[in-house]
Chains A and B, each alone.
Chain A
Amino acid sequence: MFSSIRNRSGRGVVIVAALGVAALSLSACGPETVAPEGSADADMLQAPTESAPSGEITIWDRSGDLFEVFEGVIAEFNKKYPDITVNHEAVDIDAKLQNTLITGTDVPDGVFLDDAKISSFTDFLWNLTDVLAPYVDDIAPQKVAVNTSDGSIYGVPFDLDPGLLYYNATALEGAGIDATTIETYDDLLDAARAYKEFKPDAGPIHLEKAPFLAQLQLEMYANQLGTSLGDDEGGIRLDGTEYTEVLTFLDTVSREGLGTRAEYLDPTDIGELENGNQVFYPWAIWFSFAPQQLLPETSGDWRAMQLPAWEAGGARGGAMGGSSFVLPKEGANSELAWLFYEFLMFDEAGYSAVWGPNAVYPDGLNTSIPSYLPAADPTNPLFGPVEALGGQDLWAEATTAGAEIPAAGPIPTWWIGAVDYLGNNMQRMLDGDMTPEDVQTQSTEEIQTNLIDRQ
């Protein structure tokens, strides 16, 4: 009996050992654990040379309005390239892209991607420096910068998202305040103080409560001053005086009770916008969506103007967010995907179809402007006046602001991770628990230790 047990247990050991050996053998042939070969030139995408290129491309876009807009452009693209079939797919890019690129399975030819995420994927992407060379001088410098990593460009710049100062003109006029005279952030503080005096319950200036968006907005302010969180070498430069100035402004708004702290367009935010307590919203152009869709009570009362400058005569443009198109190296027909994006962004028929009147936006896509400067001509609007902004010519305002956006540094790979530190510390400052200098010192240390040093 005992020998039988021993035999069985011995057999079990053998089986377990065999399974272990098999599993170890399997794990040894895991995906991509050796450095890929290839020179810098091998990573450089070249445009196709055929006169009538043909083939199929798979393009990933996130679902929603932009997917529908791009879907509508495919017919225009096929007028120029009839032999290229576009498989347009709505995909949760944040959830799928990383795994797809790592495994190399079913890799699309082109992907719509937030600018802030491009640097994280450059090892998997085509270097587009050569194909973009004919256009690069005509692309907004800020967009070229955010698509650049180690001197190479990895994304076809899509939209430029200039920051604008949205204001409730009707409410401000009721308080005897002429917002159009605001030229600097000091003027904005004065106008907010005056409005607060008129309406004591008001928190006139929006203070963002979501850490990610607060950091994005901080970058908009910093961009006006010609700086950004990451320097050209991927290091952090949060300790600069520009950030002290911006954080001090936000701290002043909070300490003086001049702000409404809410997450972008959450129920509190919408309520305070509708009841006239929150009348200044320094935000990217895409806030224009709110008066058009979410603010029925005050729709038509809102206007947009260029951001105030930090010093009189300073830049009144700063970028907030934005997206581009990237082309994975593992894509089957990347060079054809380049033709698609080249058409969309640099061909008049393409960018007119994107930003001009279409099935989704009958007056045109007015939540961003083209980053290709010939397409962003203030005198040649692609989208029409916005009724929710009192019929204002948002195109002229946004393209003028866009032209003032200074170039900044590239967006580093650790930028999104920094939200856990800088984004949260900004909220602690607005709670009154930290000073602007504390935010700079502590966030720099935390980002350096937890993100940069661990790359």
Chain B
Amino acid sequence: MTTIPAAHSAVAPRRRITASRTRRRLAPYLFVLPFVALFLAFSVYPLIYTFRLSFTSWRGVGAAEWVGWDNYTYLLTSPQFWASLGNSAVLWLLIIPIQMVVGVITAVLLNSVMLKGRAIYRIAFIVPFVTPLVAVAQIWVVLFDQNYGAINAALGAVGIPPIGWLTTSEWAKPTLALLFLWKTTGFIVIILLSGLQSIDSSLYEAASIDGASRARQLWSITVPLLRRTIMFAVVLQTLAVFQMFAEPFVVTQGGPYGSTTTAGFYLYNHITRADLGTGAANSFLLVILVMALSLLFVRLLRAKD
């Protein structure tokens, strides 16, 4: 029989406890380590690298020459930069209010138990969102052609002269906004629908008993209780509108006369010309703008709460 020395037997459990505590302390860090590593590699590092790049005139090769604030001052005094922000702002005004109103009404209709075949409608609404943009864009170009498009043909039948939907500065933005609305409203409807389903149905029953009309219920119950979801959708779509690139790229190439050159498209122009320093500075200005807008919406939401 082996005899364990008294001193050793007292230390061993203490060591085990210490090791166990250390493991417990380290465990959370080990669990988050993969995320932190990926976050550092793919978010923090590119962000800091881009920030540094924004103070250089680097074109992808050779030494990165430090130019101080030059890229920022160039952009902030460039009419094209402000025009691109203006275009995005106008698109925001054309898209977001309409999308939220249409989205809420559609979601309420799709949520109604009286609507037959709800599943089919829900799928139908999400189809544009999953359709490849390039295919949609080609259809858009054909539909909205000034001389041979179906839209002008239909308008011509009721005596309206042809409109340069994609070829005039006045109409290109609304046409692009329409494409964006058609493509993404289904996605917003799904988000709002999930918000609607979390509203307690007893509230509607009580309102009904009290004699509230459907419109009154919508305005006094649905909209207030859906406010957080709506605000989430607004923030999401604000980001999407200010980063909008693919739509103008495939439909108008930013034209005519730069009228559909969005903030995202303008940024792309710097990158493709290997003007990486200016592109990086442009990215940061956009990040600041979008963060400011998002904070503004969050503040508005809190103020209402």
Contacts and interface: CB of A to CB of B under 8 A. Distances in A.
Interface of A: 19, 22-24, 26-27, 30, 32-36, 94, 98, 101-102, 120, 123-124, 209-212, 266-268, 270-272, 414, 416-417, 420, 424, 427-428, 450, 454-455
Contacts of B64: 33
Contacts of B44: 19, 23, 26
Contact of B40 (A23, A414, A420, A424): A23
A32 B61 contact: yes
At the interface, is chain B mostly helix, strand, loop or mixed?
loop
A266 B48 CA distance: 44
Contact of A19 (B36, B52, B253): B36
Contacts of A34: 63
B20 interface: no
A75 to B, nearest CB: 33
Interface string B262-305: 00000001001111001000000000000000000000000000
27 contacts: A19-B40, A19-B44, A23-B44, A27-B45, A30-B52, A32-B62, A33-B63, A35-B63, A98-B60, A123-B60, A123-B62, A209-B167, A210-B253, A267-B147, A267-B148, A268-B146, A268-B148, A270-B148, A416-B272, A417-B269, A420-B258, A424-B257, A424-B258, A427-B256, A428-B257, A450-B78, A455-B59
B145 A24 contact: no
A454 B275 contact: yes
Nearest to B78: A450
A27 B52 contact: yes
A255 B142 CA distance: 28
Nearest to A453: B74
Given A23-B40, A23-B44, A36-B62, A30 B256 contact: no
**Shortest 4 CB-CB distances between A and B: which pairs?**
A123-B61, A267-B145, A102-B60, A23-B44
Contacts of B147: 267-268, 271-272
Interface in B189-220: none
Main secondary structure on A side of the interface with B: helix
Contact of B257 (A212, A271, A427, A455): A427
B89 interface: no
A120 B273 contact: yes
B108 interface: no
A220 B64 CA distance: 36
A264 to B, nearest CB: 12
Contacts of B148: 267-268, 270-271
Given A36-B62, A123-B61, A427-B256, A23 B48 contact: yes
A123 B62 CA distance: 8
B86 to A, nearest CB: 16
B255 interface: yes
A33 B257 CA distance: 36
A98 B48 contact: no
A424 B145 contact: no
Contacts of B174: none
A94 B268 CA distance: 12
Interface residues of B, number: 39
A36 B257 contact: no
Interface string B63-100: 11000000000100010100000000000000000000
Contacts of B272: 94, 98, 416
B141 A266 contact: yes
A35 B40 CA distance: 27
Contacts of B59: 455
A211 B274 CA distance: 21
B121 interface: no
A43 B126 CA distance: 54
B49 A101 contact: no
A22 B145 contact: no
B58 interface: yes
A267 B141 CA distance: 9
A414 B269 CA distance: 12
Contact of A420 (B36, B49, B142, B269): B269
Interface in B105-161: 141-142, 145-149
A266 B145 contact: yes
Contacts of B269: 417, 420
Contacts of B40: 19, 22-23, 26
Most buried by B among A101, A417, A454: A454
Nearest to A22: B40
A365 to B, nearest CB: 26
A208 B279 CA distance: 30
Contacts of A424: 255-258
Given A35-B63, A98-B272, 13 more contacts: A23-B47, A26-B45, A27-B45, A30-B49, A32-B60, A32-B61, A35-B62, A209-B167, A267-B145, A267-B147, A268-B148, A271-B148, A424-B256
A98 B167 CA distance: 31
Interface in B10-59: 36, 40-41, 44-45, 47-49, 52, 57-59
Given A19-B36, A268-B148, A417-B269, A124 B61 contact: yes
A210 B255 CA distance: 9
B273 A416 contact: yes
Contacts of A23: 40, 44-45, 47-48
A6 B36 CA distance: 23
A270 B142 CA distance: 12
Contacts of A271: 147-148
Contacts of A24: 48
A26 B60 CA distance: 18
A2 B229 CA distance: 36
A38 to B, nearest CB: 12
